[in-house]
Structure 1
């Protein structure tokens, strides 16, 4: 059921896409492919230019959403950064429909580097989503109130009733907003609380939203034929189609949007002309901005490769001013380039199915020999299918996939140039190669070409591609009756047989390659690490700044190494979860590779991949992986460079430390290896401590009393008048700049304040040795604020934190660590689902207790 729930969104999107294609096919039944091509070619250039200007104006308004949201929360940012970042995010997100590109990941990378925290970024995302939803609703209702006859054909109501209902709906939406804005009160909708913008900001946002909807509608309206309704009548139709496309979750709303537009517009407008306008609209409003954003991103990457300096001072200033926006999108470049290559492959494949639609193409077919025509069509379809498959490898940053993609696109350009029928396609493929080239260093993984590439999302995308092939094949050649003999007809004018053979080759290549990838995907079986694996992991952990990476040496977790041996993930298996302790450890490129591998391995085994206690440095990677973050609490990290016992704020700590010294407490650091006699003495203290706590040894995220484990680390030994009364093992990184404590145990007769003395004296000694930071460990469920995030998990966790003292002293633990004036660093649980992570946490609790 868990796997079914995970794939259900993709199945629903694929089903809606299929229904949209079927409905579109039925609506386009009277349209001839040649008439459609003629209509597109006859569209005046000035009309196309005006539609393109309207499209770009619409994207400027889209970027304005983020600008107004940042001003609403009181965190304005430089205008060039907001506009460039907004354009890139919406240009990619509108076309692809992936939140990994247009939603949380881009905003996190962009705004977190400019001083905003996670709650601010969530507020921006919520504001823009609500603003768009309210805007498209109000614009559609207002247009419907002015022209109620727009949807009479699809609504069983009179025009008067439609107008009355539209006005009533507008008042229901607008009046509460105006009231909340004027009174500056909060608007509660169910369990959500919204802070209404000020009257001025409300007007500004309405203008931005009106511009967004109006300019995007105007882009299509300019392309519609002369018999179309006026703009105000067309506006509610466009708004309804846009909202249906968004709610369908189909990338770009393909099929759903077109079906509603064609069904709602009058037949007198000419269905072939409407279809031509929709194709041009897709090109101008989606593909052109997508291509422009990719070209800008590629130019920025080339500018960086040149050291941030060119001969053009204005260009340098432009990229310098917008650099944060480009850097925010840059990590998603492999995914974006993969989508570009996938689209190029689909274009080549579909072009092989279409009959010649220009006189030049027909003349070329008559001029070239039959063998050349047949062979070039099959070769073009095969190259297109190969690009579709190679796009899976580009997502994984495969070096082999990158070079094969370059070679395939160049070969495709040569084939189309030799045909002399698709010059635009050849130019586009060459531009694609130019876009790819500056990113060649991003494709560095030398693993299998498309290792673990068949995720549910890509499977759905491939199936949608095959559906598109079938749609184009049947639409382009619907006038040719099917017969078995078609497969064997070879002639210069036998376009339908040629398309059948090409379509079969495309489907076979894509389907066979996908099946091969699924069948050959190796299964990773969790098992205890051997000595060689532990040695390699220890080397990586020592080089890491995260001292918690040292927990790999406990030996109670499975270790998954990257192919180049430069990164690892340590994890345990419990229930239906594979739980990785922290994020991947090691070099960033190898860490990204092993994180993908871990998730794929878990899913192939029918388990849910989970990252437990992930720090903020791994958040962008988690978002790239498609994971949802749930705050677990905060880690207390002391900056040793400013830690001391001096000053009035440290009076209590200074007094307690002096009292401990008078009581005879001293602290000694003992370096490994430790003598058996010392370990035996410590074992006695540990047993007393466990007995007093009515507890037993734990594992996974903490160490346990084990001679091998303790011999990896220095020990902090607290003595009272020479008698050993407490100890802790000190985790450090290889550079001995960061420290943390794992086991902390004391005897029953240890003086009061022993553990506070241990922490204080240990930090003073580490500071003297040149350490810069010291981790006091997690304060579970600390810092969860339902009022800020409005997430059910934060409410649940906050309730446990405040009222769960009978089970665990959450507030007392935070108060103890707060004595040392630490920085509170948020840590997260990363799961595949946005639901409250009760099951993963239960699996983690069993894993920790099972040592």
Structure 2
């Protein structure tokens, strides 16, 4: 594995990167368009008036809005509660409350529900016995429920008040009512019919099993509570107007769906533009803008802060070794403990989002005029250099926090400590800039919240090696556009002139804001450029002796024998910076495919997994992990990858394996007959003699000729003396000659052994392979091995009736009817003779859609037909550089 700091030539890679980044750039573009529309709608609005309206909001109104928010989030948690009942896996209410609230509080605010919300659910529910299908069903149930609820409620309210969207819909009220009623009937009637008949609702290629009438009624209550209380939160904050709640509900639902369809995180800009455009002309726009700002704070930031504070308190409580209180409260906390423990894994994502928000607040504060008497007094008391310097420092600190949030989300230890220092510095600057106690307290409290999570940051990577993905690039573009919006909105009364840049005076706030935006943008842009230029480029070359030695050392000290496939020589090896973990992978087509998960201790494995995904995305490739074990699923979710079940691995527990008892009668009979026929098992440790390798070569050639096959690669070994000399070999002899053999992958821990090549001659007795497995497992048991892997049963265990996923339907169909080109059912039946535990294996890919292109690339690697054009292009580039 080499690192190449020079950019790769050719337009193919550039086009691939553009295609990968298009969805994010589209979202950023829609965000900018939303800001433009919002700026035009607020053309007559003064920023000072908006702030005055916010400060004038009665505390009683804020309290009612907080109560409505709490009721809405309880309804959101009800989605999970009813979904668990729907799939027949109910859990204790405290666990559902803790896990569900965390998922929604973090997911709604961060705007990455597919990552954060799904990761929380997986960690909580999988720890309590639910499998991947159950977690996927809960997530899908919640998403579909919200989509159906928002649509039906919005259309229903529009049918009652068809003129609610007259400002944005060029249709007559009668036409709007007719279309709304038709939409409600089109959605509600098939759902009700399917519920009564316990059938399925088909949506194109997909079908969803409808809940029973009782579950459907509960779901309707939760849906109405979610949408209704969320709308009530904003309705309470709105100024007095002629809109009834039903009419306002239609506006709210339409704006919410517009934000969802825009794919802009949180619908920021799009939601506000729709709401302002649809409000009656007699309503004060300043008051509406103030209400929308308060709504964002109360409905999104308050639950986020409460969830983060609860999680930090739990971390501090546990690290202090305190005991739970007795009584009902203590039992409730103990019951919710799995929920809190599960959320620990996404703490870096949540803390990074908090730091990003702090950076935005610092940057925005540097360009806003003072809005309090204390701030205005500070401008009069402090000398001009303090005022100018604090504004520029606030902008730089904000940009620094935005850049550091990337590293915090990637669990970088240096980013953690730097963010801690910068936030404390920002608190001091906030006091100097304008005696801004709110901002100073927030930053100081945020720094304190970081401390209990120190153990979650263990990556010793350089900050400048953080690769910017298309999502981060789009975010930076959106941030700069947002700064521009705030600048022009806050200082719209000041006409632009070139002289503004050089005007220095205490009351010259617009020039100061211009300079702060310029400096902040420069810091942000230069930081992003440094990340792009300094991130090491990984070239997927064949491993050298140093890579193989490191992989052999790491794999041998672990408990996963399949990690030994890194030593086949046909895969690149990416070793972590500390040399304790690695990822083995190969490039094919537009995919970089790792075999299995990262190998090594958990902290180092996570580090190298992030590095692999970063390197692949930098090259415009699809990162994927092939045949991932269930233990690696949390890392895959943290990487933002989607899971697709590939089949199940058959693992025999050797501690309870024997030929005794009625359940083993057939196996015992076959083993005894094989011994009578003269079969015997020999175990040979490496290195192997030349005569033995020659004899094994004869068997291998005969097997390949009989199967009309050629040597495979990537996920299996091949007959090669260097490869076989790394492992013990089990041979079956008949009449003194070898008729079958298998090489066995082992580790120093003897936790588990695995089998690789299994080859026999056609003249071997019919029971030879069954005898090989049986005798081998008995010997491994005597040697002290705890488990033995019989390998994968491809496409086995897929449950489309539970997951309703297109990929599972496709895979299950091939499994049942694909016997003409591969005997999937026969392979599973043979391995089932040994009574194994069936453990799921997954493909982790960037998209939730069926990963057909990634699987096609993997098939080329396994078939030994890697992408020659990519290799030739890399070779051409290196010759050009030379």
TM-score in terms of structure 1 length: 0.97
Task: Kindly indicate whether the alpha-carbon contact (under 8 Å) linking 1:400 and 1:449 is maintained by their aligned counterparts in 2.
Answer: yes
Give the one of 36, 40, 43 matched to 1:22.
36
Q: Which moved more, 1:691-700 or 1:533-542?
A: 691-700
In structure 2, how many angstroms separate the alpha carbons of the residues matched to 1:181 and 1:100?
Answer: 28
SS at match of 1:209: helix
Give the one of 497, 520, 524 matched to 1:483.
497
Task: Kindly indicate whether the alpha-carbon contact (under 8 Å) linking 1:181 and 1:198 is maintained by their aligned counterparts in 2.
Answer: yes
Q: C-alpha deviations, 1:693-716, integer Å up to 9, x for none?
A: 222322221112222221221111
1:382 matched to 2:396: yes
Q: C-alpha deviations, 1:568-623, integer Å up to 9, x for none?
A: 00112222222211110001111111111111112222322221111111112112
Where does residue 842 of structure 2 map in the other structure?
Answer: 828
Deviation at 1:153, TM superposition (A): 2.9
Task: Kindly indicate whether the alpha-carbon contact (under 8 Å) linking 2:208 and 2:804 is maintained by their aligned counterparts in 1.
Answer: no
SS at match of 1:364: helix
Give the one of 34, 47, 55 matched to 2:48.
34
1:518 matched to 2:529: no
Deviation at 1:547, TM superposition (A): 0.9
In structure 2, how many angstroms separate the alpha carbons of the residues matched to 1:813 and 1:759?
Answer: 14
SS at match of 1:600: helix
Deviation at 1:16, TM superposition (A): 1.0
> Runs of 4 or more off by more than 4 Å in structure 1?
310-318
Task: Kindly indicate whether the alpha-carbon contact (under 8 Å) linking 1:632 and 1:781 is maintained by their aligned counterparts in 2.
Answer: yes
What does 1:449-848 align with in structure 2 at a 5 Å threshold?
Answer: 449-848=463-862
Where does residue 11 of structure 2 map in the other structure?
Answer: none
Q: C-alpha deviations, 1:704-730, integer Å up to 9, x for none?
A: 222222122111121124332221111
In structure 1, how many angstroms separate the alpha carbons of the residues matched to 2:688 and 2:533?
Answer: 50
SS at match of 2:791: strand
Deviation at 1:92, TM superposition (A): 0.8
Deviation at 1:47, TM superposition (A): 0.8
SS at match of 1:827: strand
Deviation at 1:559, TM superposition (A): 0.8
1:426 matched to 2:440: yes
In structure 2, how many angstroms separate the alpha carbons of the residues matched to 1:312 and 1:2?
Answer: 59
Give the one of 264, 267, 277 matched to 1:250.
264
Q: Which moved more, 1:316-325 or 1:602-611?
A: 316-325
Where does residue 142 of structure 1 map in the other structure?
Answer: 156
Q: Which moved more, 1:230-239 or 1:189-198?
A: 189-198
Q: Which moved more, 1:121-130 or 1:799-808?
A: 799-808
Q: C-alpha deviations, 1:647-676, integer Å up to 9, x for none?
A: 222222111111101101111212222222
SS at match of 1:374: helix
1:209 matched to 2:220: no
What does 1:285-434 align with in structure 2 at a 5 Å threshold?
Answer: 285-307=299-321, 309=323, 317-434=331-448
SS at match of 1:268: coil
In structure 2, how many angstroms separate the alpha carbons of the residues matched to 1:458 and 1:228?
Answer: 43
How many residues matched? Answer: 851
Q: Which moved more, 1:549-558 or 1:785-794?
A: 785-794
Q: Which moved more, 1:223-232 or 1:34-43?
A: 223-232
Where does residue 89 of structure 2 map in the other structure?
Answer: 75
In structure 1, how many angstroms separate the alpha carbons of the residues matched to 2:387 and 2:281?
Answer: 38
- Quick one: structure 1 residues 201 and 846, their matched pair in 2 at CA, closer, same or farther if it must change by over 3 Å? closer
Give the one of 11, 18, 22 matched to 1:4.
18
Deviation at 1:791, TM superposition (A): 2.8
Deviation at 1:317, TM superposition (A): 4.3
In structure 2, how many angstroms separate the alpha carbons of the residues matched to 1:417 and 1:577?
Answer: 51
1:61 matched to 2:62: no
Q: Which moved more, 1:579-588 or 1:322-331?
A: 322-331
Deviation at 1:119, TM superposition (A): 1.7
SS at match of 1:586: coil
Task: Kindly indicate whether the alpha-carbon contact (under 8 Å) linking 1:568 and 1:584 is maintained by their aligned counterparts in 2.
Answer: yes
Deviation at 1:318, TM superposition (A): 4.5
Q: Which moved more, 1:784-793 or 1:202-211?
A: 784-793
SS at match of 1:269: coil
Where does residue 279 of structure 1 map in the other structure?
Answer: 293
Task: Kindly indicate whether the alpha-carbon contact (under 8 Å) linking 1:308 and 1:316 is maintained by their aligned counterparts in 2.
Answer: no
In structure 1, how many angstroms separate the alpha carbons of the residues matched to 2:90 and 2:631?
Answer: 24
Task: Kindly indicate whether the alpha-carbon contact (under 8 Å) linking 1:631 and 1:826 is maintained by their aligned counterparts in 2.
Answer: yes
Task: Kindly indicate whether the alpha-carbon contact (under 8 Å) linking 2:17 and 2:619 is maintained by their aligned counterparts in 1.
Answer: no
Deviation at 1:313, TM superposition (A): 7.5
Deviation at 1:450, TM superposition (A): 4.2
SS at match of 1:632: strand
Give the one of 210, 218, 221 matched to 2:232.
218
Q: Which moved more, 1:90-99 or 1:835-844?
A: 835-844
In structure 2, how many angstroms separate the alpha carbons of the residues matched to 1:162 and 1:403?
Answer: 56
Q: Which moved more, 1:548-557 or 1:483-492?
A: 548-557
- Quick one: structure 1 residues 179 and 835, their matched pair in 2 at CA, closer, same or farther if it must change by over 3 Å? closer
Deviation at 1:94, TM superposition (A): 0.8
Deviation at 1:256, TM superposition (A): 0.5
In structure 1, how many angstroms separate the alpha carbons of the residues matched to 2:362 and 2:71?
Answer: 31
In structure 2, how many angstroms separate the alpha carbons of the residues matched to 1:697 and 1:138?
Answer: 57
- Quick one: structure 1 residues 100 and 192, their matched pair in 2 at CA, closer, same or farther if it must change by over 3 Å? closer
In structure 2, how many angstroms separate the alpha carbons of the residues matched to 1:307 and 1:360?
Answer: 43
Unaligned runs of 5+ residues in structure 2 are: 1-14, 866-882
In structure 1, how many angstroms separate the alpha carbons of the residues matched to 2:793 and 2:282?
Answer: 68
TM-score in terms of structure 2 length: 0.94
Task: Kindly indicate whether the alpha-carbon contact (under 8 Å) linking 2:116 and 2:346 is maintained by their aligned counterparts in 1.
Answer: no
Deviation at 1:149, TM superposition (A): 2.5
Q: C-alpha deviations, 1:18-64, integer Å up to 9, x for none?
A: 01111110011101111111111111111111111111111111111
Deviation at 1:808, TM superposition (A): 2.1
1:195 matched to 2:209: yes
Deviation at 1:556, TM superposition (A): 2.1
Q: Which moved more, 1:156-165 or 1:408-417?
A: 156-165
- Quick one: structure 1 residues 242 and 793, their matched pair in 2 at CA, closer, same or farther if it must change by over 3 Å? same
